[in-house]
Amino acid sequence: MVTGPIGRARRRALWGLAALVLLPAIADAHAVLVRAVPPPRATVRVAPRRARLWFSERLEPVYSTASVWSEATGTAVAAGATAVSADDPRLLSVALPPLPDGAYAVRYRVLSVDGHVLEGAYSFTVAGGANGR
């Protein structure tokens, strides 16, 4: 172990270098989709009542939206009543009407509290016969 003024100066320099290398990576982190129900590419037997999306960062409720589209018709089946949870500001959800069997796309556009916009989409399929809610 190096002690004395030169050893302490070297340790400070190494910590400073580590901070310069690591801090931009930490500061550059943006919100990402970390979990969703129904999950991306899933086939569900029971149509969900809500699409729920969890992100890695807190969301700005006024600027965060989600919608669900029928892939067969290209029309929105749920495009309103999007809400960021008051209990978990990383959770965005949208209410769904009864969904018949078919393929659906969840589209989202969110603004995280760090000021960055994230847009994305994923698909899921309902294949359970009757809408078994």
The C-alpha atoms of residue 73 and residue 44 are separated, in whole angstroms, by 19
Q: If you average pLDDT over residues 60-65, what whole number do you get? A: 95
Residue 106, pLDDT > 80, answer yes
Q: What percent of the chain has pLDDT over 90?
A: 70
Mean pLDDT of 44-52: 96
| Residue 24 preceded by cis peptide, ω within 30 | no
4: alpha, beta or left, given left = phi > 0 and alpha = psi -120 to 50?
left
Taking only the tens place, the pLDDT of each residue in 79-99 is 668 999 999 999 999 999 999
**Mean of per-residue pLDDT scores for the chain:** 85
Residue 92: its pLDDT value, please?
98
Residue 80 confidence (pLDDT): 65
Instruction: For the beta carbon of residue 132, count every other beta carbon within 10 angstroms.
Output: 10
In the predicted model, is pLDDT for residue 131 greater than 60? no
The pTM is what? 0.74
CA 54 to chain centre: 5
Fold category of 33-126 in CATH = Immunoglobulin-like (2.60.40)
pLDDT at residue 3 is higher than 70: no
- Enumerate residues 6+ apart whose C-beta is below 8 A from 38: 44, 48, 51, 124
Q: What pLDDT is attached to residue 13?
A: 60
CA distance 48 to 125: 11
